[in-house]
Structure 1
Amino acid sequence: MRFGLLMLFCVCLSATFAQTKRFVVAADGSGNYKTVQQAINAVPDSSKQTTVIYIKKGIYKEKLVLPATKLHVQMIGEDKDKTILTYDDYHARKDSTGKEIGTSGSASFFIYGSDFSAENLTFENSAGLTAGQAVAVWVAGDQSFFKNCRFLGFQDTLYTFGPGSRQFYLDCYIEGTVDFIFGAATAWFQNCTIYCKKGGGYVTAASTPNGAAYGYVFKNCKITGDAPDESFYLGRPWRPYAKVVYINCDLGPQIKAVGWDFWRNEANKATAYYAEYKNTGAGFKPNGRVSWSHQLTDDEVNQYTAKKVLGGTDNWNPLKDK
């Protein structure tokens, strides 16, 4: 009986491994591919299999695209600080027709495929401080999961593009200046370091769609940086119904006492939803916050769990699935 169960277990285990493709990317030629885009291109279209792309240490200067047909892709870096996916486009750069590529076009990495995950990687836009809008990662795919990753840039570093897209960021480092986390997705940031760089700006510029129950939730995050004291807002509404909540976060002195900005439109004060719950640190000054923001009660904060925010109709649980 025990032998029979063991055989059944081995068969099931073999079947599980058979459902996973594995590629190795190494710039020195020691892997299956020398570039990350070559590995992405090799992922079977519309496959139900998981494809793991293991990326060895190195700087990969590529403008990357994960198409919507490339599903269930996992990218794993050999070393978070030494496995760098980078490019240097910016919004005002001209394309072959002489037209500016714009903010979206500036992204170093476009992610359209759903059920994408990344771990131990650095995503960078190296255009620099004076380049203006220069996106490191543009994420539209649903069920996107990032763990122990770095997002490097200045203005508009992380573009959580997709309305209806659910995204989870765990133990990540995200840096920037103006609106450096922005977009329409529903996104959960947990145990992340949010680094406000010199120059001042806005941590978030959410464009949450009207009717969406949730926008951005920051849980147990640390807001820090080398920017001067009171030079950053927690956020401003890129669209009228922006939703951003900070829960149990450590807010550094870089955060302005007023907390939030209404982006030169008084009407945004009535539609945007900005809230906090039991934050700490020099930047947490609830008595100085704008009157149209909220300090959540114990009952209200119960609505903010990863399961409720990201679960959807398919009960997505990234911590369980990954």
Structure 2
Amino acid sequence: MKVGYLFFFVGVLFFQMEKAFGQDRKLMVAQDGSGDYRTVQEALNAVPDFRKVVTVIWIKNGIYKEKLNLSASKKLVKLIGENVERTILTYDDYAAKKNFFGEEMGTSGSSSFYVYGEEFSAENITFENSSGPVGQAVALWIAGDKAQFRNCRMLGFQDTLYTYGGGSRQYFKNCYIEGTVDFIFGSATAVFEDCQIYCKKGGGYITASSSPDTLKYGYVFLNCVIDGDAPEHSVYLGRPWRPYAKAVYLNCSLGKMIRGEGWNNWGKESNEKTAYYAEYASKGPGAATQKRVAWSRQLQAADLEDYTLAKIFRGWQPGLK
């Protein structure tokens, strides 16, 4: 009996050690061969399907030219780069580019990185579409729910960041996002906190929300800096890709490139009745709120109660894993 108990407890001990090791183990990607894998896609493929604990993938500095895909079965994946400016995941597809069959790739087909897996997170990573000013060219396409990005960069021109998932909740903290036309777009509910939104030369539109009428929130910018080298009065805060588009800027600094009217109806007056565009305490040379279109809103301090992360994200509280 005593021997039986001994084997039982030894077995439990080994199980706990194995479990702890499995949780703590990290994969390493390094182009020089010093890690577990030389490419990011190999590391993503190595993540066990439907794993219930976080899988951390460390990525050493380098320019990784790969068209990446994180499948829906790869959950709780976390990428950590060595240095945000030197750990670069990039590709150069664009919407008008022809695929193997001679067909145009389209906007969705142009992305450098597709994220389908839920509870994905990334830190200190640059996501880039390097094709240049050639029309729609997505750097990052996100469908998975509860996605988080901290201290990351999203680089491109038109359609840089595609917040694709209609029911997806996405959180961006201390990130840098650049582009020209509709460079933050899609159906997801996304919060951008303490981010730099950089409007590149040529002007255009920062957001093109397509949030459905079933969701209360679309894009929320908290304490962000909107700047760039776009010409003065050449950039709109947003335009509605779909009728019920939603975008709110709270306590943001707006540069001189922001147009006085602020918002555009995408050529459809009917959008003015359904889109929800608002600001609170905007500051800077682009905060000429008295010139805003009549169908936008200026919020009051009491309205901020509706913009906690818990309310925006329907109970989900993003945090470091």
Is the 8 Å Cα contact of residues 70 and 116 (structure 2) preserved in structure 1? yes
Are 1:284 and 2:287 counterparts? Answer: yes
Partner SS for 2:191: strand
In structure 1, the residue matched to 2:89 is 85
Q: Secondary structure at the match of 2:181?
A: coil
1:317 aligns with 2:321: no
Tell me the secondary structure at the aligned position of residue 29 of structure 1. coil
Among 164, 167, 181, the alignment partner of 2:167 is 164
Cα distance in structure 1, aligned partners of 2:232 and 2:17? 54
Closer, same or farther: CA 278–84 of 1 in aligned 2, 3 Å = same
Distance in 2 (CA, whole Å) between partners of 1:268 and 1:13 is 58
Query: Which digits, 9 at most, give the CA deviation of each residue in 1:223-272, with x for residues without a partner?
Result: 00011111100000000000100000000001000000000001000000
Q: One-letter code of the match for 2:176?
A: Y
1:127: how far off?
0.4
For the Cα contact (< 8 Å) 1:20–1:49, is it kept in 2? Answer: no
Identical aligned residues as a percent: 60
Query: How far apart, in 2, do the equivalents of 1:169 and 1:221 lie?
Result: 11
- Tell me how far 1:50 sits from its aligned partner: 1.2
User: Over aligned residue pairs, what C-alpha RMSD do you find?
Assistant: 1.3
1:261 — aligned with what?
264
Q: Of the candidates 29, 39, 46, which is equivalent to residue 25 of structure 1?
A: 29
Instruction: State the secondary structure of the residue aligned to 1:19.
Output: helix
Task: Name the SS of the counterpart of 1:18 in structure 2.
Answer: helix
What are the residue-to-residue correspondences of 1:216-235 with 2, within 5 Å?
A: 216-235=219-238
Q: How does 1:58-207 map to 2 (within 5 A)?
A: 58-129=62-133, 131-207=134-210
CA–CA separation in structure 2 for the residues paired with 1:20 and 1:236: 45
Please give the alpha-carbon distance, in whole angstroms, between the structure 2 residues aligned to 1:133 and 1:28.
Answer: 33
| Secondary structure of 1:280's aligned partner | coil
Match of 1:3 in 2: none
Letter paired with 1:266? E
Match of 1:249 among 252, 264, 267: 252
**d(CA) in 1 for partners of 2:159, 2:298:** 27
Give the aligned partner of residue 6 of structure 1. Answer: none
Segments ≥4 residues shifted beyond 3 Å? 11-18
The 8 Å contact of residues 220 and 247 in structure 2, kept in 1 or not, is answered as: yes
Secondary structure of 1:180's match?
strand
CA deviation after TM superposition for structure 1 residue 22, in Å: 1.1
Q: What displacement does 1:94 show?
A: 0.9
5+ long unaligned stretches in structure 2: 1-14
Alpha-carbon separation, structure 2, partners of 1:128 and 1:191: 26
Give the counterpart letter for 2:151 in structure 1. Answer: N
Larger radius of gyration: 2
Residue equivalent to 2:216: 213
2:47 and 2:26 map into 1 onto residues whose CA distance is 10
Structure 1 residues not aligned, in runs of 5+: 1-10
Partner of 2:12: none
Residue 7 of structure 1 corresponds to which residue in structure 2? none
Normalising by structure 1, report the TM-score.
0.93
* 3-state SS, counterpart of residue 306 of structure 2: coil
Q: Alpha-carbon deviation of 1:15? A: 4.9
Q: Work out whether residues 309 and 316 of structure 2, in 8 Å CA contact, stay in contact via their aligned partners in 1.
A: no
How far did 1:299 drift? 1.6
Cα deviation, residue 297, structure 1? 1.3
Q: TM-score, normalised by structure 2?
A: 0.93
Aligned counterparts of 2:247 and 2:195: Cα–Cα separation in 1: 15
Q: Kindly tell me: are residues 16 and 218 of structure 1, through their superposed partners in 2, closer, same or farther at Cα, counting changes over 3 Å?
A: farther
Inter-partner Cα distance in structure 1 for 2:20 and 2:281 = 43
Question: What are the Cα deviations for residues 91-118 of structure 1, in whole angstroms up to 9, with x where unaligned?
Answer: 0111111111100000000000000000
Q: What does the per-residue CA deviation read over 1:253-302, in whole Å, with 9 as the maximum and x for residues that have no partner?
A: 01000000000001000000000001110000110000000001122221
**Aligned equivalents of 1:14 and 1:225: distance in 2?**
50
- Quote the Cα distance in structure 2 between the aligned partners of 1:13 and 1:172: 37
The answer on whether the counterparts of 1:155 and 1:176 sit within 8 Å (CA) in structure 2 is yes
